[in-house]
């Protein structure tokens, strides 16, 4: 029997014979064989998400460069799947650059972001002759120029602009505000570019970068950001005659974490809107272009500057979030007579899903072996860590997470839960050493159907491998 619950994705995430299947594989059986907690990813879903983004972008603009945001999930198998799917890559550190190159990406495919790039990281980026170093300050421009001079290189750069644009995402995920740590202020933009143009042998100023933030549920912030970029391009062209070859709109395309619809009523409106966001990249591009041409007096000049421009996006979450799940077993069940609550204590805590603590993020839970049964019994869920904040709900009761998770009745120790949409910002932010718990294994269901280890199971020896005593 195939389930019709709203969290299913045809051909990928389904209930078959009452059990949760991912790419045709029985996830409860995988958990029984491999142990929990466990990360499980789908190569075919990653490829399908990238294909959908590429097709959508092509409908709106002929020259789009998609760069996978490595920070969302930098596992080497994920990077290789992304590269083989025809996408480029964005990195935020020397380590991510190293992994991108090892995964087979060429320098022309790589964009380097970051607010505190070290001299060593800049040297590595220049040595790889990457597509663009996105500069975060005028000081960083001068630093890149000095390193380029010493290395006898010419640096491809773009300037990251912060234009004071608010979104309806979590405040800590908004990156285009003046109170964020990112980017160059609009008042410094022309100064920075003018300085760059005075060093043509060292600096190749190619583009402008802007990123409104992650999990942005509306097209309007992107459109306002694009209009701001066009205004700066016009100002730059009028002042210097210089044209850029790309506009980078960053990433932040949302994922619908509330696709199940079961727990949305318990959330504040802001969280509900943010967590249920759905945007098409073609809609973002079309709204952005409409906004760029909205000023009649500048329309002709804007059209000229956009004529040969490449538009860059840096999707991360929208590629890997729904391609991964966390499998966790119930280790303990207890009741609290004073409140009437039943608690399920699992072996996966916020150390494996850090956003659950930092952003009060929601991951929908499905009983892996009872996926077709009604999920209508409320439970309080918590992880194994010696930390009162290691819970799957909002301790402050401010409506940022539902107080209960709905699961089948009579859940028991040993039952396995699948936490959906957990492919992004889980493995990459993991703090598995907290309480000295070995790192979980990560598996990938390959496009061939085989289930392969993409990160080995940690052990106790790993916990002391780097200690000196």
180: confidence class by pLDDT, cuts 50, 70, 90: confident
- Check if 386 is active-site: yes
pTM of the model: 0.94
Candidate list 67, 80, 386, 441, residue with the active-site label: 386
Q: Which residues contact 207 (CB under 8 A, 6 or more apart)?
A: 132, 158, 159, 244, 245, 246, 247, 248, 312
Beta bridge partners of 455: 442
CATH 3.20.20.10 domain residues, the chain: 113-315
DSSP 410-463: S--TT-EEEE-S-SSSSGGG--TTGGGPPPPEEEEE-TTS-EEEEEPPP-HHHH
Condensed to tens digits (0 to 9), the pLDDT of residues 362-409 reads: 999 999 999 999 999 999 999 999 999 999 999 888 888 999 999 999
CATH of domain 13-42+321-463: 2.40.37.10
For 66, which DSSP code? E
> What is the rounded CA–CA span in Å between residue 253 and residue 214?
7
Dihedral of alpha carbons 179, 232, 226, 423, sign: negative
Tell me: cis bond preceding 37? Omega within 30 of 0 counts: yes
DSSP strand pairing (110-112 vs 132-135): parallel
Band of the pLDDT at 1, cuts 50, 70, 90? Answer: very low
Taking the C-alpha atoms of residue 294 and residue 296, their distance in angstroms, rounded to an integer, is 6
Distance between CA atoms of residues 173 and 107, nearest Å: 28
pLDDT range class, residue 296, cuts 50, 70, 90: low
Where residue 3 falls among pLDDT bands split at 50, 70, 90?
very low
Q: pLDDT tens, 315-352?
A: 999 999 999 999 999 999 999 999 999 999 999 999 99
The CATH 2.40.37.10 portion of the chain extends over: 13-42+321-463
Q: Minimal CA–CA distance to 212: which of 256, 258, 160, 140?
A: 160
pLDDT digits (tens, 9 = 90+) for 70-125: 999 999 999 999 999 999 999 999 999 999 999 999 999 999 999 999 999 999 99
How many whole angstroms separate alpha carbon 370 and alpha carbon 417? Answer: 9
Percent of the chain residues topping a pLDDT of 70: 96
pLDDT of residue 177: 64
**What are the start-end ranges of the H helices in 89-175?**
94-102, 119-127, 138-151
pLDDT band at 172 (very low <50, low <70, confident <90, very high): confident
For residue 287, the 8-state DSSP code is H
Lowest-confidence segment of 138-152, 245-259, 434-448 by average pLDDT: 245-259
What HEC string does 231-285 produce?
HHHHHHHHHHCCCCCEEECCCCCCCCCCCCCCCHHHCCHHHHHHHCCCCCHHHHH
To the nearest whole number, what is the mean pLDDT of the chain?
92
Mean pLDDT of 299-327: 94
- Euclidean distance between CA atoms 428 and 38, whole angstroms: 14
- pLDDT digits over 23-79, tens only? 999 999 999 999 999 999 999 999 999 999 999 999 999 999 999 999 999 999 999
pLDDT computed for residue 312 by the predictor: 96
Tens-place pLDDT, residues 116-128 = 999 999 999 999 9
Percent pLDDT > 90 in the chain is 75
- Helical pair 76-84 and 43-60, crossing angle rounded to 10 deg: 40
φ and ψ of 427, to 5 deg: -55, -40
Residue 11, pLDDT above cutoff 70: yes
How far is Cα 176 from Cα 220, in angstroms, rounded to an integer?
13
Query: The domain 113-315: what is its CATH number?
Result: 3.20.20.10
């Amino acid at each position: 029997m195939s389930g019709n619950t709203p969290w299913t994705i045809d051909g990928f995430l389904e209930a078959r014979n009452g059990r949760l299947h991912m790419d045709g594989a029985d996830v409860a059986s995988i958990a029984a064989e491999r142990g929990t907690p466990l990360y499980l990813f789908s190569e075919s879903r990653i490829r399908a998400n990238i294909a959908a983004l590429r097709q959508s972008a092509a409908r709106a603009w002929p020259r789009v460069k998609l760069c996978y945001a490595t920070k969302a999930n930098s596992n080497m198998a994920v990077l290789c799947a992304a590269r083989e799917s025809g996408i480029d890559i964005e990195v935020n550190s020397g380590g991510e650059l190293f992994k991108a190159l090892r995964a087979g990406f060429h320098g022309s495919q790589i964009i380097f972001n970051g607010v505190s790039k070290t001299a060593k990281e800049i040297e590595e980026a220049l040595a790889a002759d990457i597509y663009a170093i996105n500069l975060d300050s005028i000081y960083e421009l001068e630093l890149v120029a000095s390193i380029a001079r010493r290395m006898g290189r010419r640096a491809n750069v773009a300037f990251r602009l912060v234009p004071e644009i608010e979104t309806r995402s979590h405040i800590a995920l908004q990156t285009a505000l003046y109170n964020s740590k990112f980017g160059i202020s609009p008042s410094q933009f022309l100064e920075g570019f003018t300085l760059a143009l005075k060093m043509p042998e060292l600096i190749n100023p190619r583009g402008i970068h802007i990123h409104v933030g992650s999990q942005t549920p509306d097209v309007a912030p992107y459109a306002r950001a694009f209009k701001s970029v066009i205004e700066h391009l016009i100002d730059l062209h009028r002042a210097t005659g210089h044209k850029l070859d790309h506009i980078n709109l960053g990433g932040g395309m949302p994922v619908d974490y509330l696709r199940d619809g079961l727990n949305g009523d318990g959330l504040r409106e802001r969280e509900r809107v943010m967590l249920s966001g759905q945007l098409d990249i073609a809609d973002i591009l079309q709204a952005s272009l409409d906004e760029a041409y909205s000023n009649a007096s500048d329309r002709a000049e804007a059209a000229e500057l956009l004529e040969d421009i490449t538009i860059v996006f840096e999707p991360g979450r929208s590629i890997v979030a729904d391609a991964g799940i966390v499998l966790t077993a119930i280790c303990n069940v207890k009741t609290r007579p004073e409140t009437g609550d039943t608690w399920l204590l699992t072996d996966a805590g916020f150390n494996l899903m850090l956003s659950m603590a930092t952003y009060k993020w929601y991951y929908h839970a499905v009983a892996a072996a009872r996926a077709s049964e009604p999920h209508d019994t409320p439970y309080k869920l918590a992880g194994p860590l010696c930390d009162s904040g290691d819970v799957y709900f909002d301790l402050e009761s401010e409506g940022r997470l539902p107080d209960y998770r709905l699961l089948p009745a009579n859940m028991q120790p040993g039952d396995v839960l699948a936490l959906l949409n957990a492919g992004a910002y889980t493995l990459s932010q993991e703090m598995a050493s907290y309480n000295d718990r070995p790192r979980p294994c990560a598996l990938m269901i390959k496009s061939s159907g085989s289930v392969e280890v993409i990160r080995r199971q940690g052990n106790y020896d790993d916990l002391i491998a780097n200690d000196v005593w």
